[in-house]
Amino acid sequence: MTVFNIIFYIAAAIVVGATGLAITRKQVVHAVCYLVISFMGTAVLFYILGAPLLAALEVIIYAGGIMVLFLFVVMMVKDTPPSIDKPSRVKRWLPAMILAGTSALISGLLVFADPGNRLRPPIVTGTPQEFGNILFKDYWFPVEIASLLLLAALIGAHYLGRRADHPEDTP
Amino acid sequence: MTIPFTHMLFLAILLFVMGAACAMTRKNLFLILIGVEVMLNAAGIAFVAAAMRWLDMNGQIMVLFVMTAAAAEIAVALALIICFQRQSGSTNADRLSLLKG
């Protein structure tokens, strides 16, 4: 039991706890704040699992970018009235239960098919240099597609978010 | 340092199920999106754990693309929510059923 094991389990507990709090909040702002904690814990996990660049990106993109965008929009949008109709508890929870059962089944199969694997590698396996080499040598085409996806998302978000009463915004 | 791969897999699966339950049971569109984010994050943890298990960088690179997809998805989804909120004055997913002709 080294210190990294202890850090791993503490970080995992923080991630699970913060996510559990996030998905049960009624207020969206509270949920987003807990989710930021969850993403910070995930970054620690990534670092321990040998992905320092992804740990940094997790903080920058997820916690710093996506969640801040979320907060902006949540504060832009007015408070929402409560639900119109109240469906039964079964109708609400049945799909989630089915999914949980399926996931448990698949994970059980995965675990029993490959049991007892212990990870003993060094703390950092993937340096950013190695990461970039593989990314731009073997994955240059997916990188282009990802950039195109981001461009499409940018244009789409701008088009959907424009105001109809601003004539200069309409194309 | 020896952490069983199955423990990481359990962590990822637990987070995925939590996110899926959130996405399926909540009514607020923002909370549904938060559930989707949690699911994508869980997939990332599984990818990184597998990259370490097989000492293969490809798993880590997939996480980068997952992050890209998540960022694009969230931008468009939030724009759609704003659009929907302007039309109906609500962020409740039940109101979306009114789109039916």
- Minimum Cα–Cα distance from A22: chain B residue: B34
- Minimum Cα–Cα distance from B25: chain A residue: A92
**Between the CA of residue B49 and those of A100, A162, B38, what are the distances in Å?**
21, 41, 17
Supply the pTM of this predicted model. Answer: 0.85
- Minimum Cα–Cα distance from B39: chain A residue: A19
Q: Give the model's pLDDT for residue A168.
A: 56
Q: Which two tokens stand for residue A169?
A: 């915004």
Residue-wise pLDDT for A129-171, tens only, equals 888 888 899 899 999 999 999 999 999 999 988 876 655 544 4
Binary contact (B9, A142; C-beta < 8 A): no
Q: Which two tokens stand for residue A87?
A: 């469906």
- A6 interfaces chain B, CB cutoff of 8 Å: no
* SS3 readout for A28-60: HHHHHHHHHHHHHHHHHHHHHCCCHHHHHHHHH
For residue B28, pLDDT over 80 is answered with yes
Query: Quick one: residue A114, left, alpha or beta (phi over 0 = left, psi -120 to 50 = alpha)?
Result: beta
**Between the CA of residue A35 and those of A21, A43, A44, A62, what are the distances in Å?**
8, 12, 14, 10
Residue-wise pLDDT for A20-68, tens only, equals 999 888 888 899 999 999 999 999 999 888 888 999 999 999 888 899 9
| Residues of chain B contacting residue A149, judged by C-beta atoms under 8 Å apart | 68-69, 72
Residue-wise pLDDT for A86-135, tens only, equals 666 777 778 878 888 888 888 778 777 765 566 555 555 678 888 888 88
For residues A46 and A107, give the distance between their C-alpha atoms in angstroms, rounded to a whole number.
Answer: 21
